[in-house]
Amino acid sequence: MIKQSKNPNAMANYKISGPDAKITDGVLRSDRFKDIYFSSENGLAEARHVFVEGTNLAALLNSNDHLVIAETGFGTGLNFLAVMDLVEKSATNCTIDYISFEAYPLDKELAFEARKPFSELQRNSILLKKLWPENWACAHHRLFLQDRIHLHLHYGDALLEMKQLNFKANIWFLDGFSPAKNKELWTENMFTQISRLSASKATIASFSVAALVKDGLRKVGFKLEKKRGFGKKREMLTGYYTAGLSRYYSHSDKKVIIIGAGIAGASIAHGLRATNIAHIVVEASETIASGASGNPIGLQGPQLMAAPHPSMQMSLACFSYARELALKHGVVLHKGLISLHYPEKQGKRQKKMAEQEWPNELVEEASSRQLSQIANLAIEQDGFFQSAGQLIDPSKFTKKMLNDSEVLTGVSISSLVKRKGRWELTTTAGSILTATDIVLCTGAGLPKFLEKFTLPSLNLQVTSGQLSFLPKNTTLNNLSVGLQFGGYLTPMINGKQVLGASFDLSATTQVTQRGHNYNISLLPDALQKHILDIDQLQGRVSKRLASQDRWPLVGDWHDTIHLFSALGSRGLTNAPLLGLIFRNQKLP
């Protein structure tokens, strides 16, 4: 469980405690709750009987193109695998959002071990182990079965997490430990949240027929029925929700035009593909990732904060997802990042964080001597080693994410009008594209786009960022890990060592000596002196877009024109997940 504090000055604590679980006599037991994770007779048969059949999942899969399943207590993920197995075996096109809550995440090896008796699930059990989230207090998102099943795994107390969410579940699996052993998960407040988050006719199942469960669920609008329980259990509970709005929807009439083929456009396309929403990407330049997303090397890492803040959880969730996706697409160039206690402001913040509890792979304090060893370069500052951070190939990442989408490159829009509820876009090549929705992913091109089509304007900041490519004759070439110090320096990868990145308000597109000098000035003095041939530096300039408050612009803007822009200097980490959840929120 994540330690939460009501004191605003409290130190952040992003460590999650475990469940004290172990396998005894072939069954996984929690010492904390003095209860078992699933039936000692046959956990898979129980999952199928109680949850899969109890909620009528097979029939719902055949009559819907999208379902939301919500579960209290992810545990080993056995229920999730039972669902995946059924989807795989059914002739259904239904896509699923599987939202689960877990306050005491299991170690992935132990969860895998506990699932081992169910050999028919072995292939997907191995996959789940591979994609098992890091032990970070945030929501983790993973895609399965060619992106048809989207697992949203919230590491945190189910009630606290639910209160912050808005979804409409079609199916509920109530699978916390028994109410007698874990009252927390079966309170009136919990039933109120379940009701708030239920779609009309949502089905529900639980192994427990305790009076407090029956009464609690009836009170908030469920019609219940007792059925034969699994194995030695005489009874179980099933039912459906009698109130609520229907969220069984069809995407069949949606068609989306995405403008811009950088990481933002690619992330929206990736999200739409997962729910089979028709879309096309229009890119003005001749190639994908010609803007900021076309830099040769980029960092993926979370924005860590010393003070507790909800955005921290979002940043971790984005990082967890983007990191996994980059690995899946084979675009990781290098693993591990160092973040120096430098410059002074960053040093102060990081030293405060060092006194807090963090997962080791995010914040591992290290002395200058240890960092020098890791970096293979003499470093004078202490700092953090982040083994979870990584360097990626941004352009390859963007291209991979667009692989299965139709992209028109070298195409600009010359007119944009709405006729009979649909947008009509005329391209410079003379063709007409129609859509129900448009998503503007134009990066720094957004202000001009809004002006050209007389759309409402926004207060935006365009800056150019120059990267300097170091010559191959400096001691800095020895660097063996990504280094952050206000700016960043990468190792030499595929013949390029990148130092970045300037913030130039003049938004120039030229590589300048001024830009190189700025980048060098970001380095700690002792490292600056290694760069001798300043006039031999080469570089690349691209533009960033930021909103006034520096938050990304994600959502409805004007009519059915949506924005996914202003990703600032963290687009490579934040865009993939924001793009994935965008389609749930904005294109229902």
Ligand X SMILES: Cc1cc2nc3c(=O)[nH]c(=O)nc-3n(C[C@H](O)[C@H](O)[C@H](O)COP(=O)(O)OP(=O)(O)OC[C@H]3O[C@@H](n4cnc5c(N)ncnc54)[C@H](O)[C@@H]3O)c2cc1C
Q: Give the tokens for residue 94.
A: 């239904």
Q: Give the tokens for residue 384.
A: 């953090």
Among 21, 60, 213, 284, binds ligand X (CB under 6 A): 284
Q: Which region, judged by CB under 6 A, interacts with ligand X, from 92-100, 164-172, 261-269, 347-355?
A: 261-269
**Rounded to the nearest whole angstrom, what is the least distance from the CB of residue 257 to ligand SAM in the complex?**
40
**C-alpha angle with apex 567: 563 to 569, nearest 5 degrees?**
165
One-letter amino acid of 138: C
Element (H, E) at 97: strand 95-102
Q: Does residue 158 touch ligand SAM according to CB under 6 A?
A: yes
Among 95, 170, 206, 295, binds ligand X (CB under 6 A): 295
Footprint of ligand X on residues 479-538 (CB under 6 A)? 500-501
Place of tokens 């079609």: 170
Closer residue to ligand SAM (CB): 232 or 420: 232
CA distances in angstroms from 251 to 198, 229, 277, 281, listed in the order given: 20, 37, 6, 18
Q: Which region, judged by CB under 6 A, interacts with ligand X, from 19-27, 195-203, 235-243, 293-301?
A: 293-301
Q: Does residue 157 touch ligand SAM according to CB under 6 A?
A: yes
Footprint of ligand SAM on residues 32-51 (CB under 6 A)? 37-38
Among 57, 67, 371, 567, binds ligand X (CB under 6 A): 567
Q: Does residue 582 touch ligand SAM according to CB under 6 A?
A: no
Contact partner, 177, from ligand X, ligand SAM, none, Cβ < 5-8 Å per class: ligand SAM
Task: Please state, in angstroms and rounded to a whole number, the distance separating the CA atoms of residues 251 and 319.
Answer: 29
Closer residue to ligand SAM (CB): 74 or 191: 74
The 502-531 contact track toward ligand SAM, x by CB under 6 A, reads ------------------------------
- For residue 91, with 0-12 CB atoms within 10 Å meaning exposed, 13-18 middle and 19 or more buried, which class applies? exposed
**Rounded to the nearest whole angstrom, what is the least distance from the CB of residue 413 to ligand X in the complex?**
6
Strand partners, 469: 498, 538
Residue 300 in contact with residue 331, Cβ under 8 Å? no
Place of tokens 């990042």: 337
Q: Which region, judged by CB under 6 A, interacts with ligand X, from 76-84, 210-218, 248-256, 276-284?
A: 276-284
Q: Does residue 73 touch ligand X according to CB under 6 A?
A: no
Q: Three-state SS for 451?
A: helix
Q: Which region, judged by CB under 6 A, interacts with ligand SAM, from 172-180, 317-325, 352-360, 371-379?
A: 172-180
Query: Longest Cα pair distance anywhere in the chain, in angstroms?
Result: 81
Residue nearest to ligand SAM (CB): 73
Footprint of ligand X on residues 375-414 (CB under 6 A)? 412-413
Among 175, 283, 382, 393, binds ligand X (CB under 6 A): 283
- Dihedral sign, Cα of residue 318, residue 323, residue 328, residue 332: positive
Closer residue to ligand SAM (CB): 176 or 482: 176
Task: Please state, in angstroms and rounded to a whole number, the distance separating the CA atoms of residues 207 and 41.
Answer: 14
Closer residue to ligand SAM (CB): 126 or 526: 126
Q: Three-state SS for 105?
A: coil
Picking from 317, 389, 275, 322, the residue whose alpha carbon sits closest to that of residue 576 is 322
Q: Which region, judged by CB under 6 A, interacts with ligand X, from 135-143, 190-198, 439-447, 506-514?
A: 439-447
Pairing of strands 66-72, 169-174: parallel
Footprint of ligand SAM on residues 91-130 (CB under 6 A)? 101-104
**C-alpha angle with apex 427: 425 to 433, nearest 5 degrees?**
40
Q: Which region, judged by CB under 6 A, interacts with ligand X, from 344-352, 364-372, 379-387, 436-444?
A: 436-444
Among 54, 77, 260, 487, binds ligand SAM (CB under 6 A): 77
Q: Does residue 103 touch ligand X according to CB under 6 A?
A: no
Q: How many residues does the structure list for the chain?
A: 588
In sequence order, what DSSP letters do the residues of 338-375 get, joined into one string?
EEES-SHHHHHHHHHHHTSB--TTT-EEE-HHHHHHHH
Sheet architecture: strand order including 413-419:
413-419, 422-427, 432-435
Closer residue to ligand SAM (CB): 79 or 468: 79
Among 182, 381, 405, 463, binds ligand SAM (CB under 6 A): 182
Task: Please state, in angstroms and rounded to a whole number, the distance separating the CA atoms of residues 478 and 249.
Answer: 56
User: DSSP letter at 224?
Assistant: E
**Rounded to the nearest whole angstrom, what is the least distance from the CB of residue 413 to ligand SAM in the complex?**
47
Site for ligand SAM, rule CB under 6 A: 19, 37-38, 73-79, 101-104, 157-158, 175-177, 182, 184-185
Site for ligand X, rule CB under 6 A: 259-265, 282-285, 290-293, 295, 298-299, 412-413, 441-445, 449, 465, 467, 500-501, 542, 544, 565, 567-573
